[in-house]
Amino acid sequence: MKAVLFDLDGIITDTAGYHFLAWKTLAEKLGIEIDKEFNEQLKGVSRTDSLELILKKGQLKNEFTLAEKEALAASKNEEYKQMIEQMSSADILPGIESLLVDLKNDHRLLGLASASQNGPVILKKLGLYDLFDTIVNPAELSAGKPDPEIFQKAAEQLGCSVSECVGIEDAAAGVESINRANIVSIAVGDKEVLSAADKVVIATNELTADLIKRIWTE
């Protein structure tokens, strides 16, 4: 195993709550109600695709031009950026910082495969940016998760073959993306929702360098 490819939201930190609040503000302005259950569908999904899902819920899918949709997505992102302004190392999910340090000390490469265009800023706020060897730019992808492109790209940017990597995700679409890239997948969360993964653990503090190496070897 040469590299470990990480999702951000739900694995390194929990930004889902902020995304939800920012989308909720926008949705309310448009007269659309969204709840936490609906928000599950937005996890791991790009900003543009998330907006489409919200507009579809409010039956407003064909009511806006492309430019208007871009403005709506930009206004959500402005609100989201204000919310993440206060983030710090206290927002790293349990066990993740020591895991990243252990993997680095063990000479493994680390890649970020997040759908979030705010990924680099968030890693800097968490104090984890320098531990990563590469970050995929989601704006350069032709398709988002569950397409395998983002995890294939992360492996490629690290100069690794997919067989030398492990991918870690919390969303079903993300696990599908890892599996379709022919990368060993580890998921964090609900065993039933994430059953497609090679291994599922309940919480991030169960992720250790030894466990990841073992799953890759099996």
The response to whether 51 counts as a known ligand-binding position is: no
Site for Mg ion in 25-54 (CB under 5 A): 44
**Measured distance CA(119)–CA(121) in Å, rounded:** 6
The response to whether 7 counts as a known ligand-binding position is: yes
**Measured distance CA(118)–CA(137) in Å, rounded:** 10
**Smallest gap, in angstroms, from Cβ of residue 115 to Mg ion?**
8
The response to whether 76 counts as a known ligand-binding position is: yes
The residue count for binding Mg ion (CB under 5 A) is 6
Q: From ligand B16, Mg ion, none, which one binds at residue 155 (CB under 5 to 8 Å depending on kind)? A: none
Phi, psi at residue 167, to the nearest 5°? Answer: -115, 145
Please give the distance of CA 95 from its chain centroid, rounded to a whole number. 17
Nearest C-alpha neighbor of 75 from the set 141, 15, 24: 24
**Measured distance CA(165)–CA(186) in Å, rounded:** 11
Q: How far is CA 8 from CA 55, 83, 100, 213, in A?
A: 25, 16, 13, 20
**Measured distance CA(198)–CA(43) in Å, rounded:** 20
Site for ligand B16 in 7-46 (CB under 6 A): 7-10, 19, 42-46
Q: Which of 14, 60, 75, 77 binds ligand B16 (CB under 6 A)?
A: 77
Site mask, Mg ion, residues 138-177, x = CB under 5 A?
--------------------------------xx------
- Write out the catalytic residue numbers: 7, 9
The response to whether 200 counts as a known ligand-binding position is: no
Q: Which listed range, 7-15, 20-28, 98-106, 136-144, lies at the site for Mg ion (CB under 5 A)?
A: 7-15
Instruction: List the structure tokens of 19.
Output: 């995304």
* Residue 114 within binding range of ligand B16, rule CB under 6 A: yes
**Measured distance CA(44)–CA(151) in Å, rounded:** 13
Query: Which residues form the interface with Mg ion (CB under 5 A)?
Result: 7, 9-10, 44, 170-171
Query: Which residues form the interface with ligand B16 (CB under 6 A)?
Result: 7-10, 19, 42-47, 50, 77, 114-118, 171
